[in-house]
Structure 1
Amino acid sequence: MRFLRNIALLFLLATLAGCETISGFFEMGDDEDPQQPAELLDIEQQLNVRKLWSVGVGDGQGDGLYKLQPVIDGEIIYVAAAEGEVRAIERSSGNTIWRQKLKLGLSGGVGHYEDGLFLGGSDGLVMRLDADTGETLWTSEVSGEVLAAPQSNGRVVVVQTYDGRLYGFDYETGERMWRYDSNLPVLTIRGTSTPVLDGGVVYAGFATGRVLAFDALDGSVRWEARVAIPQGRSEIERIVDVDGTMAVVGTELYVASYQGRMAALDTRTGRKLWQRNVSSFYGVSQGFGNVYITEESGTVTAFLRNGQGIRWEQPALAWRGLTRPIPVSSYLAVADFEGHLHLLSQVDGEFLARVRPGKDGVRADMLADGTMLYVYTNGGKLIAYDIRPRS
């Protein structure tokens, strides 16, 4: 099984097409590689993208292809690094409020609810920290690596593991309340979806191409929806993981799968409201009446939320290993494997600005609030930008 998982990991790297080692491994020249990253063309800088501050946080994403995700709470940003460093940072200044160095490797986080922070370890641990001090309040065991941020509603902490399980833990004590086991395919993409807690319901996507809704307190299944159906003769062709971040808007849940579909589901029943054939493992976001997605190919697409089709497509960033698109003000931000930050119009997908936070690339979802955008690079730089039109 470990060997097959390693094959899946190589497959993901080859898909991202950003690593010279992979190209050299298959001995393909640039002209022969159908997934060669697109060259960046010059654009007209139509926005002022002002860097306000930058803070180094440990080793960032480390060497495990992690996507440790910062989180905002009011005037504080919480961020973690793979080597175990966790910080609370003042949004306005970038000053560190507190810093903790945990004695374990981190692979999933940061989740947040009121006075609690939640982190997952690479060796099968989940923990709650005090959001005011960083003190560890409890630690519990799970069966595998945690690759997404645990989520909570103040009564239960929900954790998804790479081996296809979903757990519910008591918010106060860390005692396990329930567990759900999915059937894990032979090959999977390295990653999991991030569970979504909406009131007393948990929505989670799995490597089977399915999305399930659970009762948050007892783990009972409320409904199940198939987003993608495995097709093809080889196990690689049959990978249909639901990875990345899902989005809830009212009674609609938006979700995307690899080698499958993007779908809008009714959160009450799981009924499909509409679907489109796509392949993505980055997750979805929404804004301006659109649902945004980065496809496997690197095309950024805006689908109309009402299911009436595509508003616009931007294919110029093909195979550049993009992040999930993040709306910021009236713009859309994506970052790539070389560390470039691209700002597009939410109206038509036109390029409006480009800056380079760092050469080590970006995998984690960016954070946005008003005109502010926060970028956490793979190498551990958390950077705050203020984005406004040029006068």
Structure 2
Amino acid sequence: MTGPVTVGMRSGGRRLVIAALGLGAVLALGGCGSDSWFGGDDPPPLPGERDAVLGQERGLAQATRDQEEVVLPAPEPNADWPQSGGYSHHAMQHMVVGDTLQRVWRVNIGAGGSSRDRLLNGPVVADGRIFTIDRKATVRAFNAETGERLWSVDLPDSDEDEDDGALLGGGVAFDRGRVFATTGFAKVVALRADTGQELWRVPVDAPIRAAPAVNSGRVIVQTVDNQTIALAAIDGHALWSHSGSPETASLLGAPTAAVDQGIVVVPYSSGELFALRLESGAEVWTDSVTAARRTDAVGTLQDIRANPVIDGNRLFVIGNSGLMAGMDLRSGGRAWILRVAGTQQPWLAGNVLFLVSEEAELAAINATTGGVLWTTPLPRWENPQDLSDPIVWTGPVLASDRLIVGSSDGYAYAVSPYTGKVLGRIELPDPMASAPVVANGTIYFLTTNGDLVAYR
């Protein structure tokens, strides 16, 4: 790049515009070496736009370009990451980590993924502890500062439970001193966060793949047969339930409902999207986020796999079949749509949405208009010459002026959120099982082998 680059940032509510002759002057990497946030000399993906092979699969390539600069809120500290996607609204904005990062500890959380089974949900962080659930439904608590294991609880209470839990997994959430766990053997369990003591256990009608959402004393869980159930956090008794259309085939895993302002936004594997009242489960509105566009076998699934995101009265959702929408939370009206498929939660910061598409494109989107601000092609194949071994991407997550995305070939990349330029990467012990988690200045990576790695 020969000319000056202009990027926008905010600091203390004031807008700052920085002109630099190179991107390195805008985003200092804080040292050299593979662990230097994430600098290093590993070759980045090839620059430039990449058109999809089929005309109907060109969402980001053909989308209207927005010429506005990327302006982000200033990074702010966050002590906790208590639920899937951060908090129950899933809008974590722009978080703070240190100027330089080094790996400070690594522990194993138990049974990792295998050729048959997968870890479906990441860890959560609260009250100085990090909580995990492994493939065999064992919940563990670790000291978030040192990685020391504090307690471990096996949730299956019989061999039948263990067999029923195969291939389905579950997740955890923290709220008010309690850890709530969902399981593949169709039970929801509440534990004391300090000791792991079981407080209550409630059976439901079908296995659960999604991590729970917790808000206002209610635990919201979604079963594999498209039922949403609200349980009382205090004792687990059922408060209300809601059913969507059943779906015979879906992607492995499931999204966690977004909850804010008394509204629960529930995506189902049928592509249906419901807004429900948190107090009663009554429907506020319904929509379907589907598009008959993809021709590959996976693309025909109408699944919504990514967590929806709520920010004030704005709602953002992306589906696997090829449609992303910016919506009004109260009415369900669409402000814009973008023809792009994704299974990862979009990341909102200010008025910018960052996403990884199923076409392996990392993009910045104007959250008001749906206009594309920039796109960066990511490596799509481990063997690009043979077009074999597709790479699966997780993230993005935004911290200290860097987007973090992970690849199924075992790397975590740092990317400029202002331009999409790849800054560097680090190699992890194994591929990432889920998007990274950021809390109290630390980035936590969970790998498919069950290794939890902390960078601070």
TM-score, normalised via structure 2 length: 0.70
CA pair 354-288 structure 1, distance change in 2 beyond 3 A: farther
> Is residue 197 of structure 1 aligned with residue 259 of structure 2?
yes
2-side partners of 1:49 and 1:291: how far apart?
25
> Is residue 54 of structure 1 aligned with residue 115 of structure 2?
no
> Is residue 362 of structure 1 aligned with residue 432 of structure 2?
yes
> Is residue 86 of structure 1 aligned with residue 163 of structure 2?
no
> Is residue 112 of structure 1 aligned with residue 113 of structure 2?
no
Deviations 1:1-27 (A, max 9, x none): xxxxxxxxxxxxxxxxxxxxxxxxxxx
2-side partners of 1:297 and 1:234: how far apart?
12
The answer on whether the counterparts of 1:57 and 1:382 sit within 8 Å (CA) in structure 2 is: yes
**Counterpart of 1:297?**
359
The answer on whether the counterparts of 1:165 and 1:180 sit within 8 Å (CA) in structure 2 is: yes
**Counterpart of 2:64?**
none
CA pair 371-172 structure 1, distance change in 2 beyond 3 A: closer
**Counterpart of 1:344?**
415
Structure 1 counterpart of 2:315, from 230, 233, 253: 253
Deviations 1:233-288 (A, max 9, x none): 99866422111222221211111001221111111111111110011112211125
**Counterpart of 2:327?**
265
Q: 1:289 deviation in Å?
A: 3.1
Deviations 1:295-337 (A, max 9, x none): 1122111111222511111112224100121112211111111
Q: 1:346 deviation in Å?
A: 0.9
> Is residue 167 of structure 1 aligned with residue 229 of structure 2?
yes
Q: 1:195 deviation in Å?
A: 0.8
Letter of the structure 2 residue corresponding to residue 144 of structure 1:
A
TM-score, normalised via structure 1 length: 0.82
Deviations 1:92-122 (A, max 9, x none): 2222233323335561211121222111111
Q: For 1:222, what is the secondary structure of its paired residue?
A: strand
**Rg larger in structure:** 2
**Counterpart of 1:316?**
378
CA pair 245-364 structure 1, distance change in 2 beyond 3 A: same
**Counterpart of 2:194?**
132
> Is residue 328 of structure 1 aligned with residue 328 of structure 2?
no
Letter of the structure 2 residue corresponding to residue 145 of structure 1:
P
Q: 1:41 deviation in Å?
A: 6.5
Q: For residues 67-106 of structure 1, what are the structure 2 equivalents within 5 Å? A: 67-103=120-156, 105=162
Letter of the structure 2 residue corresponding to residue 164 of structure 1:
N
**Counterpart of 1:42?**
43
| Cα root mean square deviation, aligned | 2.4
Deviates more, 1:367-376 or 1:327-336: 367-376
Task: Give the fraction of aligned pairs with identical amino acids, expressed as a percent.
Answer: 23
Q: 1:177 deviation in Å?
A: 1.9
Deviations 1:60-106 (A, max 9, x none): 34542331221111422111212232222222222223332333556
Q: For 2:188, what is the secondary structure of its paired residue?
A: strand
Q: For 1:323, what is the secondary structure of its paired residue?
A: strand
The answer on whether the counterparts of 1:230 and 1:239 sit within 8 Å (CA) in structure 2 is: no
2-side partners of 1:230 and 1:52: how far apart?
46
Q: 1:231 deviation in Å?
A: 6.1
Letter of the structure 2 residue corresponding to residue 56 of structure 1:
N
CA pair 344-74 structure 1, distance change in 2 beyond 3 A: farther
Q: 1:186 deviation in Å?
A: 3.5
Letter of the structure 2 residue corresponding to residue 66 of structure 1:
L
CA pair 102-370 structure 1, distance change in 2 beyond 3 A: closer
The answer on whether the counterparts of 1:299 and 1:315 sit within 8 Å (CA) in structure 2 is: yes
The answer on whether the counterparts of 2:187 and 2:204 sit within 8 Å (CA) in structure 1 is: yes
The answer on whether the counterparts of 2:259 and 2:310 sit within 8 Å (CA) in structure 1 is: no
1-side partners of 2:298 and 2:442: how far apart?
40
2-side partners of 1:56 and 1:204: how far apart?
32
Q: 1:355 deviation in Å?
A: 0.8
Deviates more, 1:361-370 or 1:122-131: 361-370
Gaps of 5+ in 2: 1-40, 46-98, 381-389
Structure 1 counterpart of 2:238, from 131, 153, 176: 176
**Counterpart of 2:94?**
none
2-side partners of 1:190 and 1:345: how far apart?
31
Deviates more, 1:271-280 or 1:48-57: 48-57
Deviations 1:332-364 (A, max 9, x none): 1111112211111111111112111213x1122
The answer on whether the counterparts of 1:240 and 1:258 sit within 8 Å (CA) in structure 2 is: yes
Q: For 1:167, what is the secondary structure of its paired residue?
A: strand
Letter of the structure 2 residue corresponding to residue 101 of structure 1:
D
**Aligned residue pair count:** 344
CA pair 356-274 structure 1, distance change in 2 beyond 3 A: same
* Higher relative contact order, chain-length normalized (CA < 8 Å, sep 6+): 2
Q: For 1:260, what is the secondary structure of its paired residue?
A: coil
Letter of the structure 2 residue corresponding to residue 93 of structure 1:
T
Q: 1:147 deviation in Å?
A: 1.1
Letter of the structure 2 residue corresponding to residue 336 of structure 1:
S
Q: 1:217 deviation in Å?
A: 2.6
> Is residue 280 of structure 1 aligned with residue 342 of structure 2?
yes
1-side partners of 2:369 and 2:42: how far apart?
32
Letter of the structure 2 residue corresponding to residue 42 of structure 1:
P
2-side partners of 1:299 and 1:311: how far apart?
13
Deviations 1:199-249 (A, max 9, x none): 422111112222111112321111112222456899866422111222221
Gaps of 5+ in 1: 1-39, 387-391
Letter of the structure 1 residue corresponding to residue 145 of structure 2:
S
Q: Which has the higher strand share?
A: 1
